């Protein structure tokens, strides 16, 4: 520093570190009352695991001197008495009950802290839940039966419940001449075996249907199919379908009214808990369900014209040319065929309820099929396009088709001609979807097949119908020396002679 500036330099006033760090600007000063009455930003987002969170959640109902708290977790809600007039103690007790729910589930928490509620409510078993859902949910009888059969099959195989022993008048197991216990098949409805099996399965608590148990069941089911890749693929698809049907019994729509007087396990059956990878569920890789066409539609139609007659041919035409589902064909009425607009309408009728609202719609008819329909109507003897001596059954609890014998005839013919799928008629629907997607695009296929989501069309109903190559093979024609000409007729003749011998 220069001597000229030294004289102008002034030292600051005495500075006390101990006092200065506590000084606050007047505009930022707050009274002790304000500090304790106004919540800070840090206390606004308290977790439920903190007792302070529950201070604002506990209340005294009516004229009661004691606090209580309503606690919600995993879509269930119950009110707990806290048996204290001290707000701070009530908050701590509410916190403790919440932590117990998280650690042990609703069932154990209600039994410990609210036993009178457990007496009023019932622990849900498979039988009681099915009974409640059937009485309160809007599910078609045949669909509900499929759901019920699925959950019972899974539960019985998880617990190892099979055929049940026959009993005598004293309730003791019956034995044959070799002193072996006599068992009744669970499929024997007339002999009582099915009733015994149902009683044992329906008594099982829903808590056995954990995600881990369901996964073990699925793997065991697939292993039963053996080592064949194709057989294992079919088994995996079947197991996945069974689990999906059983899980539908615990959808929001099914639980809306059914769970009013039943205690459900927490988590719900078949619901996986969160893993530890960022707190998100792992997305399972779906099995490959893409349709792989093995049908030559032109050849199949030509053979059908020559070999099929009557109702099986009608079913074939409506299945392949219109993509109608089995039930849609079985209950199709002439009032749904509009000859003026040249369409078939899939809609609710006196006999038929569509699979879903998205399944309704119009399907355009080819001119040739329309001409055939005119001829069929001229000789029709009833309201249905497919003639049958069997009458439709309204609200049947099991899947029923009035034209079952005609479907069986067509299925045998299709399998004879290479359509080996488990559901041959549905394979024709998939083939139509593949043809439409290839010729007109996937949105056209979705429209005709009447899918709610285009992802369904893409995943299950489309296949490549056009040859796709890069055209590089044309470059090979420049090297004719690589092409070996040979006459294989003699080799073929020798093989034929060997077979005759």
| pLDDT in the model for residue 32 | 45
Q: Which of 179, 254, 246, 184 minimizes the C-alpha distance to 210?
A: 246
Q: Which residues contact 353 (CB under 8 A, 6 or more apart)?
A: 140
Residue 496: predicted pLDDT = 60
Alpha carbon distance 176, 167 (integer Å): 12
pLDDT of residue 373: 92
**Lookup: tokens for 333:** 């009425």
pLDDT at residue 376 greater than cutoff 70: yes
- 254 vs 268: CA distance, rounded Å: 13
pLDDT of 201: 93
Indicate whether 422 pLDDT > 70.
yes
Q: How far apart are CA 385 and CA 117, in angstroms?
A: 57
Q: Which residue has the higher pLDDT, 468 or 173?
A: 173
Mean pLDDT value of segment 5-29: 46
pTM of the shown model: 0.60
Q: Give the pLDDT confidence of 104-147 residue by residue, as tens digits.
A: 888 788 888 887 765 556 788 999 999 999 999 888 888 899 99
Question: Is residue 164 a contact partner of residue 200, using CB atoms and an 8 Å limit?
Answer: yes
In the predicted model, what is the mean pLDDT of residues 363-369?
90
User: Comparing C-alpha atoms, which of 154, 150, 153, 124 is closest to residue 139?
Assistant: 150
pLDDT of the residue at 307: 93
Residue at token pair 């048996």: 83
How many angstroms separate the CA atoms of 299 and 303, rounded? 6
CA–CA distance from 16 to each of 9, 22, 120, 164 (Å)?
21, 11, 71, 91
The model's pLDDT over 248-261, given as tens digits with 9 standing for 90+, comes to 999 988 888 887 77
153 against 437, higher pLDDT? 153
Chain centre to alpha carbon of residue 288: 16
The pLDDT of residue 408 is above 90: yes
Cα–Cα separations (whole angstroms), residue 325 to 302, 350, 417, 455, 494: 22, 18, 21, 19, 49
Bigger pLDDT: 120 vs 415: 415
- Predicted confidence band of residue 27 (pLDDT cuts 50, 70, 90): very low
Which pLDDT does position 177 carry in this prediction?
Answer: 87
DSSP class of residue 474 equals G
DSSP character string of 27-64: GG---HHHHHHSPPGGGTT--TTSGGGGGGTEE--TT-
Contact at 8 Å (CB) between 429 and 449?
Answer: yes
Spatial CB neighbours of 312, under 8 Å, sequence gap ≥ 6: 406, 409, 410, 413
β-pair partners for 72? 77
More confident: 92 or 108: 92
Mode of pairing for the β-strands spanning 262-263 and 76-81 = unpaired
CA distance 109 to 100: 6
Q: What percent of the chain has pLDDT over 70?
A: 77
Q: What is the DSSP string of 148-182?
A: HHHHHHHHHHHHT--SEEPB-TTSPBPB-TTSPBP
pLDDT of amino acid 354: 83
Q: Please report, for residues 73, 308, 321, the alpha-carbon distance to residue 409 in angstroms, rounded to integers and kept in the order given.
A: 54, 9, 19
The confidence score (pLDDT) of residue 22 equals 45
- Residue 415's SS3 state is helix
Report pLDDT for 262: 81
Name the helix (H) or strand (E) containing 72.
Answer: strand 68-73
CA distance 385 to 333: 5
Name the β-bridge partners of 333: 384
Please state the rounded mean pLDDT for residues 16-37. 46
What is the rounded end-to-end Cα distance, in angstroms, of the chain? 121
CA distances from 489 to 482, 494, 496 (A): 21, 9, 11
Which region among 269-273, 281-285, 371-375 has the lowest average model confidence (pLDDT)?
A: 281-285
Cis ω before 267 (30° cut-off from 0): yes
Q: Report how far residue 414's alpha carbon sits from residue 412's, in angstroms, rounded to the nearest whole number.
A: 6
pLDDT at 140: 84
Q: Quick one: average pLDDT of 234-240?
A: 90
* 365 φ, ψ (degrees, to nearest 5): -110, 140
Determine the Cα–Cα distance for residues 215 and 209; give it in Å rounded to an integer.
10
pLDDT of residue 469: 61
Cα 310–311–317 angle (5° rounding)?
Answer: 100
Residue located via tokens 């809609």: 347
111 vs 404: which has the higher pLDDT: 404
Kindly list the structural domains of the chain, giving each domain's residue range(s) and its CATH number in brackets, ordered by start: 47-120 (no CATH), 126-167+178-263 (no CATH), 297-460 (1.10.443.10)
What pLDDT, on a 0 to 100 scale, did the predictor assign at position 271? 77
Listed range (2-11, 76-85, 440-449) with the worst mean pLDDT: 2-11
pLDDT, residue 252, reads: 87
pLDDT-derived band at 374 (thresholds 50, 70, 90) equals very high
What confidence score (pLDDT) does residue 92 get? 93
41 pLDDT more than 70: no
**Of 28-32, 193-197, 230-234, which range is least confident?**
28-32
Res 272: pLDDT: 64
| 369: pLDDT strictly greater than 60 | yes
Are 391 and 402 within 8 A, CB to CB? yes
Q: Please say if the pLDDT value at position 183 is more than 90.
A: no
| Residue 299: closest CA among 320, 282, 318, 280 | 320
Q: What is the DSSP string of 481-501?
A: GGPPP---HHHHHHHHHHHH-
Q: Which residue has the higher pLDDT, 275 or 312?
A: 312
Q: For the chain, how long is the longest CA-to-CA vector?
A: 129
Confidence of residue 159 (pLDDT cuts 50, 70, 90): very high
Dump strand ranges (E) for 74-174.
76-81, 122-123, 164-165
pLDDT bucket at 23, cuts 50 / 70 / 90:
very low
Q: What is the rounded CA–CA span in Å between residue 313 and residue 285? A: 40
Q: What is the pLDDT of residues 337-354, one digit of tens each?
A: 999 999 999 998 888 888
Is 88:51 a contact under the CB 8 Å cutoff? yes
* pLDDT score of 294: 80
> Averaging pLDDT over each range in 65-79, 177-191, 269-283, 317-331, which range is the top one?
317-331
């Amino acid at each position: 520093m220069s001597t000229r500036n030294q004289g102008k330099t002034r030292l600051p006033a005495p500075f006390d570190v101990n006092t200065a760090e506590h000084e606050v600007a007047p505009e930022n000063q707050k009274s002790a009352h304000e500090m304790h009455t106004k919540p800070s930003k840090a206390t606004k987002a308290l977790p439920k695991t903190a007792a302070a969170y529950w201070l604002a959640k506990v209340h005294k109902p009516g004229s009661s001197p004691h606090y209580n708290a309503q606690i919600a977790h995993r879509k269930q809600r119950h009110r707990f008495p806290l048996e204290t007039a001290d707000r701070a103690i009530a908050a701590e007790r509410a916190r403790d009950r919440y932590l117990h729910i998280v650690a042990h589930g609703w069932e154990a928490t209600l039994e410990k802290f609210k036993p009178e509620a457990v007496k009023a409510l019932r622990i849900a078993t498979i039988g009681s839940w099915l009974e409640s859902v059937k009485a309160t949910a809007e599910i078609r009888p045949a669909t509900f039966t499929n759901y019920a059969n699925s959950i019972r099959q899974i539960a019985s195989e998880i617990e190892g419940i099979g055929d049940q022993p026959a009993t005598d008048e004293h309730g003791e197991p019956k034995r044959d001449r070799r002193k072996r216990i006599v068992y009744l098949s669970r499929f024997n409805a007339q002999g009582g075996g099915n009733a015994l099996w149902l009683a044992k399965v329906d008594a099982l608590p829903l808590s056995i249907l954990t995600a881990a148990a369901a996964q073990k069941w699925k793997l065991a089911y697939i292993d039963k199919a053996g080592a064949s890749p194709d057989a294992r693929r079919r088994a995996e698809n079947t197991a996945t379908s069974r689990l999906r049907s059983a899980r539908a019994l615990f959808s929001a729509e099914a639980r809306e009214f059914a769970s009013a007087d039943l205690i459900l396990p927490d988590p719900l059956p078949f619901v996986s808990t969160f893993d530890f990878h960022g707190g998100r569920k792992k997305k399972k890789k779906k099995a490959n369900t893409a349709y792989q066409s093995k049908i030559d539609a032109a050849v199949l139609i030509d053979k059908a014209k020559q070999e099929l007659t009557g109702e099986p041919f009608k079913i074939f035409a409506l299945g392949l040319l219109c993509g109608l589902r089995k039930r849609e064909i079985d209950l199709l009425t002439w009032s749904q065929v509009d000859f003026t607009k040249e369409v078939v309408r899939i809609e609710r009728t006196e006999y038929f309820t569509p699979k879903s609202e998205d399944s309704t719609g119009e399907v355009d008819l080819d001119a040739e099929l329309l001409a055939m329909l005119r001829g069929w109507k001229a000789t029709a003897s009833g309201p249905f396009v497919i003639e049958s001596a069997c009458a439709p059954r309204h609200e049947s609890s099991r899947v029923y088709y009035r034209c079952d014998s005609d479907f069986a005839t067509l299925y045998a013919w299709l399998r004879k001609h290479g359509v080996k799928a488990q559901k041959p008629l549905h394979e024709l629907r998939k083939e139509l979807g593949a043809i439409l997607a290839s010729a007109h695009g996937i949105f056209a296929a979705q429209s005709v097949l009447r899918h709610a989501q285009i992802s369904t069309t893409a995943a299950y109903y489309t296949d490549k119908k056009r040859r796709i190559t890069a055209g590089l093979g044309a470059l090979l024609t420049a090297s004719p020396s690589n092409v070996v000409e040979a006459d294989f007729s003699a080799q073929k003749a020798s093989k034929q002679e060997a077979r005759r011998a």
